[in-house]
Every structure is written in structure tokens, then in C-alpha cells.
A and B are shown apart, each in its own frame.
Chain A
Amino acid sequence: MIARLGGDEELARQLVTLFLDECPRMMAEVRDSVAQGTPDLVRRAAHAFKGSVSNFLAEGPTVTAYALETIGRDGRTADAPAVLARLEIEVDALVAQLRAFDASR
């Protein structure tokens, strides 16, 4: 993860703090968009979350957020809740990992 952030541990810690602050708001937007079932909102919220989470890793929640973005783009919102459920699990795991990293200084 540190390599993906440019190889700088201090910077990585700053970015983790920013992400942990922002993550609840961004995930709330993703949840709201799925609940509303509006394709463009789903696409936008998932795209924004994907951008932020992709700063840390290319797999897991980044791939799932992209799947949700694609669902929004294609207007297949009926498929969104299942993908959102997977995203929630992956994000919880990532957040736990980042909190552990944050606490390890």
C-alpha cells in the first residue's frame, strides 16, 4: 500500500487519516443512491468512492465499486443491492486494516 502511495510512510499515514474521515460519508452516499435506485446517482457515488479507495489498493473494494459504477451506467439498479452488500464487507475489512496501520505508529 505504501508503494502505491509513492513509498512515503508519513504521507501514507496522512492519506489513511483523510480516507478514514471521508469513508463514512462516501459510503453513505453509495447506500443512499442504491436505496433510491437512480442509475446516475449510483454511477456517480460509486465512481467517487472507487476513486478514493483506489488510492490504497487495486483489488477488492476498488473492483466492487467499479462493478457498482457499471451497474449505474447500464441502468441495472436491481443488481445493485447485492453488489453493495459485497462492497460493505470489503470496505469494513479495509477500514479495519487501515485503522490497524494508523494505530501502529
Chain B
Amino acid sequence: MKWIVIGAHLQREDVEPIANVIPIGDLFLSAVAIDDDRPLGDRDVLMQVAAVRAKLLDRATFVAIRYGFAVRDAAEATSKCGGLTTRWRALLDAHRDEVEMTLKIATAAPAARPDRHAFSSGAQYLRALHANAHTADVDPGFRDGVERALVPLTTQHRWMHRDRSSMELAMLVRRRDLENVRDAGEKLRKEFAAVPFLLSGPWPLEVFADDHQQ
């Protein structure tokens, strides 16, 4: 049996009985158990973890662990995550009543993808892909509209490039403001009918808990 870790939580009650608990320091990891010979890429496992993750977020905000991290027992979890618990606790204490929302926006004019045959090494190609993604930009009027309508409803926000055809706004939102954010999203949809975008959430602490995004 192995345990697919879903998130880090402040309290045991935030996890049980929705998922299994793995104590780690003064925090608690949520996990789903699967047989050793079952691959993490199994579609049903993915869907199960996604469903459990959503239920956990209904209960309380948690630090999301990217899918793919599996452990055999609490000792292994502690050895691999022990150094992170102080930071996680600080995040959970600070954002207990907040969740993330995501606004994905199609870029105005997606840049052409670099041709891999034009590069002599894989590293150069990866760098070009990365740089290419950062050329994306959204309609300036829409961005102004988002800054005016959505950003004031957030406690933190971050514009991000993820690929060459879209940009994202990650937002940290108080739970009580979720409906206001959704309403603002609907108004944006009416005001900017020609701009394809997707407002999604709530999500656990993902972008704002990920060091790579800082």
C-alpha cells in the first residue's frame, strides 16, 4: 500500500473522515491509499484524488501538494516534508480563511511555437519555449477591466505566463468574497464578450504556496 499525498492541513479534523491522515510535525497531511502495483497515472486514481481534494477544500483551506508525491508511511513523509512544515504552518495561519481563484485568458495573438529542429540542444529548445511563453499578452482593455473589477476583491494577486496562448491571474480571495468574484467575472463576460476567458475555483493554496511561483 502507498499513500498519495494531497495536501498539508492545520488540523486533523480538516482531513478526517474525508481522507487518511499522516501526522507530520504539528501539521497533518491528507492522503489516499492505493495498492502498490497501481500506477499513479491510473485515470480512476486521478479522478478519486481530484474528488477528495475538492471535498477537503470545502472543509478548510490547505496547502496543495502537486500530484505524484506518494509515501509508504509517516516516517517517509516526515523525512521528505519535515523541512517544509514551518513555512506551511505560516501559510495556513495567514490564509486560513482564503482560497485561490484562477482567471485564464486567451492571448490576443498567440506567438508561433519555436521549431525544435532550429535548436542544437534540448536545453536551448526548452529555454526558447519558456521565453516564447512570456511573449503572450492579453487585450489591454480586458486587463484594465480585470484590474478594476477583480483585483480589488483579492487579498493578493499575481499575473503569470503559463504558455504562449494564454495568461493567468492567480488570486487569493476571502471565502466570503467568492460570490462577489464570480459576479465580477460574469460582468466581465458581458463587457468583454469577444475575449475568451475562464474563471475557476475555489482552489487550495497552490500558486501562493509554490516557491517556484514566488
Is B truly associated with A? Answer: no
